[in-house]
């Protein structure tokens, strides 16, 4: 016996963008057909016999109008600033409506079983004065008002549908942007830091320094995390803090004794999740700023406070020698701030102060 199909296991996200678009349009046309059947059976506008020929005429033009607006007039002309093209397209739509309804009415009168009342209605509205109205600019005003009753609903739906399409594309672009910035952060971590660490490791191995084994372990854990564990939108907060510990351990090994490094974590982590590599740039760029004065005495302190639904990072760098004010304008800091705005909108606060002798940052994120 075949296993029953589980509808609960079906995921809309598995559908391609094209399939989703087709399904949404089918739903739209079913709703629109119901609207037109109700519109043509209202008490003051009721026909004896079937009304589907009139509904088919209105539906056909609505489908044409919807696709013209959503895929051509709005995105390629109106939003691109080609207003004269959009205006010309609007006039063309008006004449297209007249021609469509005229030809459709003639076909319905000649070949379809319509009631005498519908025959007279089609003759009066769409056939009798076709040529005079088509050639008269003044008559087009009345045609436009008559067309609104038929196409106002699909026009409104067209703008709403296009707004949804734009919003969907915006979200997709934001996700792509986040992936690019995450890749940028990885590229900042991997090459230069890796080369410097390997240089320190080479020196330790030549001098038989017992710390060489610890360097290898920390470096392996750091590279494993950045390469294989940060491709998701969220990672365990505990793993992110372990990454910071490994990074600081390596900084302690390669920095001179004049640079004091301290790091504390208050409270223990649970099942909290955080965006990957979000905290690291604020700490790493403190050390990058020391490269301008490698022998300068400095103190770098970082503190992480973990709560049930929030995390706070405080970092501070103090130097005796005046350093260039490059922290706030650093590209990695700018990328981290953009990620915060996109991934934690309204859920974070940051205070950043920078002087020639001190940089201080306090970041609060509601998880």
pLDDT tens track for 208-218:
666 667 677 77
What does each C-alpha distance from 320 to 253, 299, 317 come to in angstroms? 21, 9, 10
Is 4's pLDDT higher than 50? no
Q: Single out the residue of 260, 286, 251 nearest to residue 363, CA to CA.
A: 286
The predicted-structure confidence for 19-51, as pLDDT tens digits, reads as follows 766 777 787 778 878 888 887 787 777 677 778
The predicted-structure confidence for 224-261, as pLDDT tens digits, reads as follows 787 777 777 788 888 889 888 888 888 887 777 888 89
CA atoms within 13 A on the CB side of 93: 23
- CA gap 365, 307 in Å, rounded: 10
Q: Are 166 and 174 in contact (CB under 8 A)?
A: no
Specify the pairing of strand 298-306 against strand 310-319.
antiparallel
Residues of the chain with CATH 3.30.565.10: 190-366
Is 272's pLDDT higher than 70? yes
pLDDT at 26: 80
pLDDT at 312: 92
pLDDT band at 363 (very low <50, low <70, confident <90, very high): very high
Cβ atoms within 10 A of the Cβ of 119, count?
16
The predicted-structure confidence for 168-207, as pLDDT tens digits, reads as follows 666 666 666 666 766 665 555 545 556 656 666 666 676 6
Strand order in the sheet with 298-306: 259-266, 298-306, 310-319, 358-366, 348-354
Q: Tokens 């600081």 belong to which residue?
A: 248
Higher pLDDT, 68 or 171: 68
Helix (H) or strand (E) holding 315: strand 310-319
pLDDT > 70 fraction of the chain, expressed in percent and rounded: 75
pLDDT > 90 fraction of the chain, expressed in percent and rounded: 8
Q: What is the DSSP letter of 154?
A: H
pLDDT at 21: 67
Q: What is the mean pLDDT of residues 315-322?
A: 89
Is 360's pLDDT higher than 90? yes
**Mean pLDDT over all residues of the chain?**
78
Q: What is the mean pLDDT of residues 124-146?
A: 79
Which CATH code fits 190-366? 3.30.565.10
Is 302's pLDDT higher than 80? yes
Determine the 3-state secondary structure of 356 from DSSP. coil
pTM above 0.75, yes or no: no
Q: Tokens 């910071």 belong to which residue?
A: 244
Helix (H) or strand (E) holding 324: none
Residues in the chain: 367
């Amino acid at each position: 016996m075949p296993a029953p199909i589980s509808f609960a296991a079906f995921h809309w996200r598995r559908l391609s963008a094209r399939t989703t678009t087709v399904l949404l349009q089918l739903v739209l046309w079913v709703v629109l057909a119901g609207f037109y059947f109700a519109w043509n059976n209202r008490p003051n506008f009721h026909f004896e016999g079937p009304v589907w020929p009139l509904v088919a005429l209105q539906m056909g033009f609505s489908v044409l109008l919807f696709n013209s607006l959503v895929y051509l007039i709005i995105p390629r002309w109106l939003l691109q600033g080609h207003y004269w093209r959009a205006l010309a397209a609007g006039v063309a739509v008006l004449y297209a409506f007249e021609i469509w309804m005229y030809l459709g009415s003639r076909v319905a009168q000649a070949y379809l079983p319509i009631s005498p009342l519908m025959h007279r209605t089609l003759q009066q509205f769409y056939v009798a004065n076709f040529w005079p109205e088509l050639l008269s600019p003044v008559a087009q005003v009345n045609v436009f008002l008559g067309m609104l009753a038929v196409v106002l609903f699909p026009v409104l739906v067209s703008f709403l549908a296009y707004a949804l399409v734009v919003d969907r594309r915006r979200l997709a672009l934001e996700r792509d942007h986040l992936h690019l910035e995450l890749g940028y952060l990885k590229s900042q971590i991997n090459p230069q830091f890796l080369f410097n660490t390997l240089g320190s490791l080479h020196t330790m191995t030549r001098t038989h320094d017992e710390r060489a084994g610890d360097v290898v372990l920390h470096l392996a854990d750091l590279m494993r995390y950045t390469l294989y564990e940060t491709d998701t939108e969220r990672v365990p907060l505990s793993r992110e803090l372990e990454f910071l510990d490994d990074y600081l351990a390596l900084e302690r090994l390669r920095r001179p004794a004049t640079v004091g490094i301290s790091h504390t974590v208050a409270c223990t982590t649970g099942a909290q999740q955080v965006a990957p590599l979000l905290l690291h740039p604020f700490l790493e760029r403190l050390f990058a700023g020391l490269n301008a004065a490698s022998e300068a005495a400095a103190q770098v302190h970082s503190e992480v406070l973990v709560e049930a639904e929030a995390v706070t990072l405080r970092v501070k760098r103090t130097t005796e020698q005046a350093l260039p004010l490059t922290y706030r304008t650093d590209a990695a800091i700018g990328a981290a701030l953009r990620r915060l705005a996109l991934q934690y909108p309204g859920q974070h606060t940051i205070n950043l102060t920078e002087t020639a002798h001190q940089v201080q940052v306090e970041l609060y994120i509601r998880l």
